[in-house]
Structure 1
Amino acid sequence: MTTYPLPAAQLKGEGVTSQRARNRLVATLQDAGIRDPRVIEVIRTVPRHHFIDQALQLHAYENDALPIGHGQTISQPWVVARMTEALLEHFEGQKDMPRKVLEIGTGSGYQAAVLSALVGEVYTVERIEALLRQARRRFRQLGLTNLRSRYDDGKLGWPDEAPFDAIILTAAGDTIPNRILEQLNPTGVLVAPVGSPSRQNLIRMRGDGKGDFALEELGAVSFVPLLGGIG
């Protein structure tokens, strides 16, 4: 097992995980419409190959979703970048970035790691214990100190730490669970995939501070289903 923190050479990567490979990925994302320079720089910096099995690291910096076991995937880099960008856009013109962000569905830990470089604190919930153990080890290896994780039913959110300035879901349900919406700051933002396995849309819900949320559709996506319980 790799000890932590990771050696600098392993973080930097080489060959198919080198900085050149990351730069090619960033160029692909920019061509696909990702514009926020903060998001671009984090995608360029965070070692995605660290969040997948060694056998798949050949594909780490391709713009594809990859299996991580237990019927789950690490999201396509464009999706991670777009969801992060959509979240940050809500706070444009404000003095501070979001202080507290809740993620439902830790998975590999990659989305949480990206967020951790851009917001104050990330609270991430995962229902599959084996995946959460792996993600926690990766967070320690990368020295990410503003991340807190919880093994629980993601549909319950993290009520003890509510309200959150932003919430992001990395699995798709037919609707957003009310218990999660109740944990969002009235002026906050939620970004999530919604729909059936055959047809999903990425949505953004922005709070107006008075209890109402404006809903925007951001495009078609494909995510694993949002499930309840723990496993």
Structure 2
Amino acid sequence: MSAGTGDDDHDPDGPRAGDGPGEQKMRFLFALRSRGVTDPRVLDAMERIDRGAFVRGHFEDRAYEDTPLPIVCGQTISQPSVVGLMTQALDIGPRDTVLEVGTGSGYQAAILSLLCRRVLTVDRHRRLVVEAEALFRQLGLSNITARVADGSRGLPEQAPFDRIMVTAAAEDPPGPLLSQLKIGGIMVVPVGQSDAVQTLIRVTRMADGFRYDELRQVRFVPLVEGLGQT
């Protein structure tokens, strides 16, 4: 698992060549708001967490565009507006404990960490976890715990969770993750075939079952069982 992708289209309202840091940030935030990210806490967190710190190599100059970008291990860093919309849909409280399935670059976990009490994030690729941990330390984000694990199974020893975010697409919401959600808890997960457009689902656990709300179409890397080779 790792951070996935949203709709890969060029952003005419995003940062432009020649923009200074201030102009880049203004355009970045404007693009988020124009695509439906309106929660002030989420926007503040996305302003405070510099996406540029999580994008390296050939794509560094595109860090502030509203587009997914490749990272190592064949994964991606998600489109910022999709990150914002998923975070907004979780409706995170300051005392919540959040499980993220798919650490990827660490960008999503960093944003979550500013909104809740504790983030546990897992990825099947050791390299991604190691590099994300280094970034978390560099940014002083001490409430994130990153682990190498099969995210499709969650972290049963740490459950139940107030919120669960899955940043890879499953054919159906994974049963082990549903069972690790508290009553009243929320999970946001892309559902659908890995080679097609998927639907972002918000699952709310009720006392007598689960409520499913469809949010929008997205495209994410597939949720893969087991551990990676890197």
User: Normalized against structure 1, the TM-score is what?
Assistant: 0.87
Supply the distance in 2 between the matched residues of 1:198 and 1:98 (Cα, whole angstroms).
36
Q: Which residue of 2 aligns with 1:33?
A: 36
Does residue 86 (structure 1) correspond to residue 89 (structure 2)? The answer is yes
Supply the distance in 2 between the matched residues of 1:81 and 1:28 (Cα, whole angstroms).
11
Q: Which residue of 2 aligns with 1:144?
A: 141
Give the % identical residues.
44
Q: Which residue of 2 aligns with 1:135?
A: 132
- Unaligned runs of at least 5 residues, structure 1: 1-14
The number of residue pairs the alignment matches comes to 210
Supply the distance in 2 between the matched residues of 1:214 and 1:99 (Cα, whole angstroms).
20
Q: Secondary structure at the match of 2:199?
A: strand
Deviation at 1:177, TM superposition (A): 1.4
Supply the distance in 1 between the matched residues of 2:47 and 2:32 (Cα, whole angstroms).
10
Q: Secondary structure at the match of 1:70?
A: helix
Q: Secondary structure at the match of 2:192?
A: strand
Q: Which residue of 1 aligns with 2:159?
A: 162
Q: Which residue of 1 aligns with 2:200?
A: 202
Alpha-carbon displacement from aligned partner over 1:18-64 (angstroms, at most 9, x marks no partner): 23212211101111111101111111120101111143111001000
8 Å CA contact retained: 1:16, 1:58? no
Structure with bigger RCO (C-alpha 8 Å, 6+ apart): 2
Supply the distance in 2 between the matched residues of 1:16 and 1:42 (Cα, whole angstroms).
22
- 1:217 partner amino acid: E
Deviation at 1:17, TM superposition (A): 7.7
Does residue 108 (structure 1) correspond to residue 105 (structure 2)? The answer is yes
Distance 1:214 1:145, change over 3 A: same
- Unaligned runs of at least 5 residues, structure 2: 1-17
8 Å CA contact retained: 1:26, 1:44? yes
Q: Which residue of 2 aligns with 1:67?
A: 70
Q: Secondary structure at the match of 1:207?
A: strand
Q: Secondary structure at the match of 1:81?
A: helix
Higher mean C-alpha displacement, 25-34 vs 219-228? 25-34
User: Normalized against structure 2, the TM-score is what?
Assistant: 0.88
Distance 1:16 1:230, change over 3 A: farther
8 Å CA contact retained: 1:203, 1:216? yes
Alpha-carbon displacement from aligned partner over 1:171-207 (angstroms, at most 9, x marks no partner): 0010121111111001100001000121200000112
Find runs of 4+ consecutive structure 1 residues off by over 4 angstroms.
Answer: none
